[in-house]
Structure 1
Amino acid sequence: MKFIVGLLLILCFCPLKALAFEKLTPKVSQNPFYYLKSDYAMPLLSKDEQNNRASGAKDRFFLPWSGDFRHSKDDLLWPFNAYLPGKVYGENERPREKRWFDEIYSKAHIEAFKDINAPGITIAEGSLRAFPTHDPIFLSPELSGEGYPFDYGQVSRVNPGEPIRISHFSRDNSFAYVETSFAAGWIDSRKIAYVNEGFIDRYMPLPLAVIVKDDKAVSKGNLFIFNVKIGSLFPLNEELLYDLELLVPTGKDEAGLATLEAVRLPRDFAKRWPIEFSQWNAASLIDEMMGETYGWGGMYGKRDCSATTRDFFLPFGIWLPRNSSAQAKSGTFISLEGLTPLQKEKAIKEGGTPFASILYKPGHVMLYAGSYRGRVVVFHNLWGLRTKSKGVEGRYVIGRSVLSTLDVGKDLPGIDPDGLLINAITGMTNLL
């Protein structure tokens, strides 16, 4: 009897948490190949158009190795003005005190900004941080949709082999303030190395290869080097029958200069970049990314919504910025504001291209993947759907990458209609 009462209490008070994503409606296939059209092998871009896009993406990728450090001291100082003592919280859910900020400010060595201003490279997967610390900062856990995992100290995950420019080091040398092609922030100094002219002359002119499998270990013999994800780029040294030989940074010498080794990876692991932009290849990448745990800012080596779209498009030679609002401005934008849900779906199906258009709502971006029984289907990595009960806002957590309709969760008890994707999206961006 006690068991039955307890079970009833759980069902009464935790109805949302008891439901899995698979039980949400409307249901759609989680197999991306389901959404392919009959011309799935036809390229979405001509070879010349794709090579032109890839040339621009390659220039962006290597941008930190040319010219000056592009971010300003204001960019470096921005987090100290945006996050204030008593207004943000630590991992213990207690407010960060002024003393913590004072210590971090001193550690940031602001007066040394751009003193080094030298090219470098990441020699392992790492994270860009807003401050020179791994300590998290959260908004109040009392706020709906805040607290863990939304660490505002996390800027972005960075792949190994990313060209960077080094501004300066923290006062204790444990962090370096760097910029990549897509963001700036503090990175663990053990994850980077300097590069000299000889390194650049060997690394930069070669064609590139792209990783097309997720969370794979790269090793040289029995020596583990680093993990890679889809979208990681490395110079292609040689194409062999069954493998590609890539040049990868493996560490640094006593002077802090990057060391370089040739490693061989199977052809189903890495491909010559850019890969042909077809529906089939698009579905293959989505299939690899399906079900990945949500990772705010790339935390724990995972992806958030904009990292998912960025890493999806880069293998095809299409470069996107890192955050969702900037991505929405990276092509031909079509406003969907003021339209009814039916009008929005009609506009998407008539004006968008599956696998080549992204849908945007403030704070979230999705890839248009096709349709199911006339309904628009998107691929995205999302944290959750907004709920409301007795005026109190909450979240129904999904926390992974899925294929869904735009009104997924509409039948959930307590769902906030304004929080449904179809009601919140404001535009579509065509990238071709």
Structure 2
Amino acid sequence: MSAACAKQESQFASEASPDFVTDVPLLEERMLSADFWIRRLARDDVRLTGEEIAAMNAASFERDPNLYDLDQFPDIMPREQVLALIDGVSRPAASPRFFTDGRPVTEETYARLEAAVQRSALPEQVPLRWGLAVRRASMRSYPTTERVLKNPDDRDLDRFQETGVFPGHRLALLHESADGKWWFAVNYHYAAWLPKSAVAEGSREQITAWEQRAPRLTVTGAQVRTNFNPEEPRTSEILLDMGVSLPLLSAREVGHNVHGQNPHASYIVSLPVREEDGSLAFEPTLIARSRDVTVGHLDYRPSLVLRQAFKFLGERYGWGHDYNGRDCTGFVGEVYQTFGILMPRNSGDQGKSDFAPTRRFAEGDDSERREALEDLSVGDLIYIPGHVMMYIGRVNGEPYVIHDVTGLSYYSSDESLYKGTLSGVSVTPLMPLRLASGKRYVDSIYAIKSIF
């Protein structure tokens, strides 16, 4: 470490609060700042250009069955193909499930849900319809808002929650529920049910033209909102999560009065809105220039990966984008979207895919695993069953990660197994963490991806 860097470290340490207390092992308060890790970078070169990222995405969509190139979807899809997508999420669980009041989910419950799915209503050839999400919404296993738990005591993980969609997400609309209130839809990396109220239906050509319009504004904050708008409630304080991309407009096109506000100190974007009949329209909408947004994508360099990841620090864990948040894969996916990098939705699909160069490890392959852990680069994604972590650097030889995680287990100094909770985006050391008394996180690593 250079003398200047050491001086900065000393100053940063002196600013640490004496009241900072944590049950996370080997964690100091100064480690909760992106700057702490950025100062440790040996290099901060741009890793991939925009053209290289576009090529990487194109290759991923071509070979990965968990990514859907909606541009290549046909106008009509065979019934069997739609059923296969529905069957991927709308199926009874293999283990018991419970409602939030403790009642078990029964065969009668699943029969009711199956009736809502109405598979029999699908024709032999299904004409596709198209839409854009107009607000943040949940994609669900079944067309219902009922919360279903694996364990009655664990109310945080709604097992009918699949993922989230955000304003501007393109959707192929394949089927509707028996009550006509839900679409079964496909976005670029998921297929599930979402409420029709969150979708505006338009023509394929209309949506494609909007998607291809440039330049675009990318949300780089964890979440930002559009400006308050008393004249057009459909565009007022709309929640936009990290990675959302919207076409930019100019005052030359829309004038100097956008719903009662001069746009000179804001960005003007084309926001999809839903008309009373459910059809798609676009409204010029303002996002203040003071908000955490950028034109285009961010340069893909290590310091910005760290900066983006730490913008989520402390956010509550939200299984499948529940709780107005995100889970482990939602976290890493939205960080990388700000650079234009797209990846599968679920951790298992990510870990097994080839969207980035990957080192894979068999059970008991400890020497290869240790070698890979010594060779980590900032931003590398580390996969264990059901979870993904992002490597951020080392302190005294110990690798640290940032991840959206629920539990915390490790051996205390008295050699007892400590079990705590995190339930949020957290910074932790990697080596002490345990899945169980006889199983460390590191023993379970089956893949490490380096996005270069």
- Give TM-score, length-normalised by structure 1: 0.82
Does structure 2 retain, via aligned residues, the 8 Å contact 1:417–1:423?
no
Q: Structure 1 residue 300: deviation in Å?
A: 1.8
Q: Distance in 1 between matches of 2:332 and 2:149?
A: 25
Per-residue CA deviation, residues 232-276 of structure 1 (Å, 9 max, x unaligned), is: 12223349985432211122242x211211223244422123210
The code of the aligned residue for 2:83 comes to K
Q: Distance in 2 between matches of 1:417 and 1:335?
A: 24
Other structure's SS at 1:96 match: coil
Q: Distance in 2 between matches of 1:77 and 1:50?
A: 32
2:126 is equivalent to residue 119 of structure 1: no
Q: Structure 1 residue 113: deviation in Å?
A: 3.4
Q: Structure 1 residue 336: deviation in Å?
A: 4.2
Q: Structure 1 residue 428: deviation in Å?
A: 0.8
Does structure 1 retain, via aligned residues, the 8 Å contact 2:137–2:198?
yes
2:290 is equivalent to residue 284 of structure 1: no
**In the alignment, what sits opposite 1:32?**
34
Per-residue CA deviation, residues 90-144 of structure 1 (Å, 9 max, x unaligned), is: 11122112222222111112123374521111111101000110112222447xx
- Which one of the candidate residues 163, 187, 191 is aligned to 1:180? 187
**In the alignment, what sits opposite 1:221?**
229
Q: Distance in 2 between matches of 1:282 and 1:140?
A: 35
**In the alignment, what sits opposite 1:23?**
23
What does residue range 72-111 of structure 1 map to in structure 2 within 5 Å?
72-79=82-89, 81-83=91-93, 87-111=96-120
Deviates more, 1:209-218 or 1:114-123: 114-123
Other structure's SS at 2:401 match: strand
**In the alignment, what sits opposite 2:384?**
361
Q: Distance in 2 between matches of 1:238 and 1:275?
A: 21
Q: Distance in 2 between matches of 1:406 and 1:241?
A: 47
The code of the aligned residue for 1:127 comes to S
2:400 is equivalent to residue 377 of structure 1: yes
**In the alignment, what sits opposite 1:323?**
346
Q: Distance in 2 between matches of 1:93 and 1:407?
A: 37
Name the CA shift for 1:52/1:265 in 2 (closer, same or farther; >3 Å): farther
Q: Distance in 2 between matches of 1:48 and 1:181?
A: 20
What does residue range 280-319 of structure 1 map to in structure 2 within 5 Å?
280-319=303-342
Q: Distance in 2 between matches of 1:220 and 1:46?
A: 36
- Which one of the candidate residues 410, 416, 423 is aligned to 1:399? 423
Q: Structure 1 residue 420: deviation in Å?
A: 3.4
The code of the aligned residue for 1:235 comes to P
Does structure 2 retain, via aligned residues, the 8 Å contact 1:116–1:168?
no
The code of the aligned residue for 1:214 comes to A
The code of the aligned residue for 1:152 comes to R
Name the CA shift for 1:418/1:228 in 2 (closer, same or farther; >3 Å): farther
- Which one of the candidate residues 180, 190, 195 is aligned to 2:197? 190
Per-residue CA deviation, residues 361-391 of structure 1 (Å, 9 max, x unaligned), is: 0000011111122211111000113589xxx
Q: Distance in 2 between matches of 1:407 and 1:134?
A: 39
Does structure 1 retain, via aligned residues, the 8 Å contact 2:140–2:161?
yes
Deviates more, 1:315-324 or 1:104-113: 104-113
Other structure's SS at 1:308 match: helix
Q: Structure 1 residue 287: deviation in Å?
A: 2.3
Q: Distance in 1 between matches of 2:432 and 2:33?
A: 17
Does structure 2 retain, via aligned residues, the 8 Å contact 1:253–1:259?
no
**In the alignment, what sits opposite 2:69?**
63
- Give TM-score, length-normalised by structure 2: 0.78
Does structure 2 retain, via aligned residues, the 8 Å contact 1:210–1:272?
yes
Q: Distance in 2 between matches of 1:384 and 1:157?
A: 22
The aligned length equals 396
Name the CA shift for 1:261/1:354 in 2 (closer, same or farther; >3 Å): same
% identical equivalent positions: 16
Per-residue CA deviation, residues 9-31 of structure 1 (Å, 9 max, x unaligned), is: xxxxxxxxxxx982321114111
Per-residue CA deviation, residues 68-98 of structure 1 (Å, 9 max, x unaligned), is: 35953033134454426x8221111221122
2:244 is equivalent to residue 232 of structure 1: yes
Does structure 1 retain, via aligned residues, the 8 Å contact 2:227–2:287?
no
**In the alignment, what sits opposite 1:212?**
220
The code of the aligned residue for 2:450 comes to N
Deviates more, 1:20-29 or 1:315-324: 20-29
Other structure's SS at 2:238 match: strand
* Structure of higher RCO (CA pairs closer than 8 Å, 6+ residues apart): 1
Per-residue CA deviation, residues 132-181 of structure 1 (Å, 9 max, x unaligned), is: 10112222447xxxx42222111101111100011121111111111111
The code of the aligned residue for 1:416 comes to A
Q: Which runs of 5+ in 2 are unaligned?
A: 1-19, 252-262, 412-416
Does structure 2 retain, via aligned residues, the 8 Å contact 1:65–1:165?
no
Q: Distance in 1 between matches of 2:142 and 2:61?
A: 29
Name the CA shift for 1:395/1:171 in 2 (closer, same or farther; >3 Å): farther
Q: Distance in 2 between matches of 1:176 and 1:21?
A: 47
Q: Which runs of 5+ in 1 are unaligned?
A: 1-19
Q: Distance in 2 between matches of 1:383 and 1:38?
A: 28
Name the CA shift for 1:54/1:219 in 2 (closer, same or farther; >3 Å): farther
The code of the aligned residue for 1:377 comes to Y
Per-residue CA deviation, residues 289-308 of structure 1 (Å, 9 max, x unaligned), is: 11110011111221110111
